Amino acid sequence: MKTCQVIANLFLCSICCAFEKPHDTLLANDIFTGSHHISNKTDTIKRALGDTVSVLPTLKAYTRLTFKKTEHIKAAPGTKSVLFNKTGQKLYAMNLEGMSIYEFNQASRQIQRQFKFIPTAGTGWDYETNKPISSYQEKPVEACLSHDDKFLWVSLHNAASIVPIPTEPVFNWSVDTTDIKIKQKKIYIEYTGSANKDSIRVPVIATGNTPKVIARTADSKNLLVSNWHSHSVSVLATDTAAFPYAKVVSTVPVSAIPRGIVVDEQRKRSYVAIMGGATITVINNDTWAKESEIPVASNPRHIVLTDSGRLLVSYNKLARIACIDPIAGKTLFSASTHAQPRTIALSKNHRFLFVTCYSSDKVEVFKINNNSFTRIASLNCEGHPVGVDLFEDDTKLEAWVCSYNNGTINIFSFAKK
């Protein structure tokens, strides 16, 4: 079979067919900028400062959700999180135990592409015994899309790093021979319905130990990464003109294990849920330094921001969710959930909150009132649900929930009224 060499503008990239060993090629240009080599000519497009995709059409207003059906589609072992792109056409599933990422088509429910890491020995962590164990480095945990959804930034649980993966296929690029000495990892890309495979080499960007959640600023200029075992948050500046396209510009120490992160663009603050304690750390986005702590209940895991500037938090051990005023530093109201609420997701109108309850095998839906939560659904979801993201159009809402133990993505459909 013929092997086609390719250069992607983000990192080392070579295209190869299924059974032929790919060549290692080096990359000096960047798909962010549109600068690349074709036929020995350079065509440079003005660098984009951030996300430039037009605002999506406003959805029709709705005030009620009515549950309709559940679907189940096969994923991979240990799927930890799921993430839709802006249009909702694609969903990315981070398969921690499968050491892979699946790209699903929302409409067809089919896998379009599989990104598979080449495993290398590493040290993992047993969360039941709280001891290190032999494992592999390439275990995807969470992800964040940036730069008009062109790049998927993925945290690798046992590699103390994140990697950027291009979401758009790049073909017919000539080889750039620039010698760049930066650590990389190889990924094979498989396409549904095709025997061919592509291979790419992605730059490894060091963070702290056991990186978890990745968040970004609206302009895609900065990323924030919560580092579980380092008790820190890494702040990275993206640089679309220089390999490896992001570097750490600040490391913010926190009081205990961090996890959830949300960025408030209006207040220029970032909020970090300190899962190993009972606070939310406030980071100043102008200085990228810790500013204050908000006292909350114990074991906050995930955190989201409403359009009114309030924070919604899941408390894993307490089996509760809460609404917090970050300015006053006070909890406004809370509600009980089933055991171990993990990831939470807001509907696009910010009126409904979806909660995955891990050990109780439930997905719960709450209506968000001015001063309370109202539970409107409590749905069975086998296999320990952990990650959730939402698709919406004018008539329906779909909650795509990944179950960690059985490698399934569960789709809960609701009619809007």
**pLDDT tens digits for range 298-317:** 999 999 999 999 999 999 99
CB 184 within 8 A of CB 12: yes
Give the gyration radius of the chain's Cα atoms. Answer: 21
Instruction: Say if 301 falls within a structural domain.
Output: yes
The model's pLDDT over 321-335, given as tens digits with 9 standing for 90+, comes to 999 999 999 999 999
Preceding amide of 295 cis, omega within 30: no
Average pLDDT over residues 107-131: 95
Instruction: Say if 5 falls within a structural domain.
Output: no
The model's pLDDT over 49-97, given as tens digits with 9 standing for 90+, comes to 456 655 677 899 999 999 999 999 999 989 999 999 999 999 999 999 9
Average pLDDT over residues 187-214: 95
Is it the case that residue 136 has pLDDT exceeding 80? yes
**Residue 195: DSSP 8-state:** S
| pLDDT for position 180 | 61
3-state secondary structure 139-170: CEEEEEEECCCCEEEEEECCCCEEEEEECCCC
Confidence label for 192 from pLDDT (cuts 50, 70 and 90) = very high
Is it the case that residue 391 has pLDDT exceeding 90? yes
**Interatomic CA distance for residues 67 and 11, integer angstroms:** 44
Confidence label for 239 from pLDDT (cuts 50, 70 and 90) = confident
Strand ranges of the sheet holding 161-166, from the earlier edge strand across to the other edge: 140-146, 151-156, 161-166, 205-206
CA angle 80–81–85, rounded 5-degree value: 155
Confidence label for 405 from pLDDT (cuts 50, 70 and 90) = very high
Instruction: Say if 52 falls within a structural domain.
Output: no
Dihedral sign of CA atoms 201, 202, 203, 208 in order: negative
Is it the case that residue 155 has pLDDT exceeding 70? yes
Instruction: Say if 200 falls within a structural domain.
Output: yes
| pLDDT for position 241 | 73
Q: Chain-wide mean pLDDT for the chain?
A: 87
Whole-Å CA distances, 93 to 77, 84, 125: 11, 9, 21
| pLDDT for position 50 | 58
Average pLDDT over residues 164-172: 74
To the nearest whole percent, how much of the chain has pLDDT over 90? 79
CATH of the domain at 238: 2.130.10.10
Model confidence, pTM: 0.88
H-run or E-run covering 320: strand 320-325
**Interatomic CA distance for residues 296 and 277, integer angstroms:** 9
**Interatomic CA distance for residues 258 and 151, integer angstroms:** 24
The whole domain housing 166 covers 13-47+61-416
Instruction: Say if 56 falls within a structural domain.
Output: no
**Interatomic CA distance for residues 167 and 340, integer angstroms:** 33
3-state secondary structure 20-46: CCCCCCECCCECCCCEEEECCEEECCC
**Around Cβ 125, how many Cβ atoms within 10 Å?**
17
Token duo for residue 410:
């569960």
Instruction: Say if 261 falls within a structural domain.
Output: yes
Average pLDDT over residues 22-45: 32
- The region of weakest confidence among 91-105, 232-246, 275-289, 393-407 is 232-246
Is it the case that residue 6 has pLDDT exceeding 60? no
| pLDDT for position 226 | 98
| pLDDT for position 54 | 54
Is it the case that residue 33 has pLDDT exceeding 70? no
CB 349 within 8 A of CB 334: no
| pLDDT for position 233 | 98
Instruction: Say if 17 falls within a structural domain.
Output: yes
Number of domains the chain contains: 1
Confidence label for 276 from pLDDT (cuts 50, 70 and 90) = very high
The structure tokens 């962010």 sit at 32
The model's pLDDT over 240-251, given as tens digits with 9 standing for 90+, comes to 778 888 999 999
Confidence label for 210 from pLDDT (cuts 50, 70 and 90) = very high
Q: What DSSP string describes 212-263?
A: EEEEE-TTSSEEEEEETTTTEEEEEEE-TTSTTSEEEEEEEE-SS-EEEEEE
Instruction: Say if 1 falls within a structural domain.
Output: no
3-state secondary structure 372-404: CEEEEEEEECCCCEEEEEEEECCCEEEEEEEEC
Is it the case that residue 19 has pLDDT exceeding 70? no
Is it the case that residue 21 has pLDDT exceeding 50? no
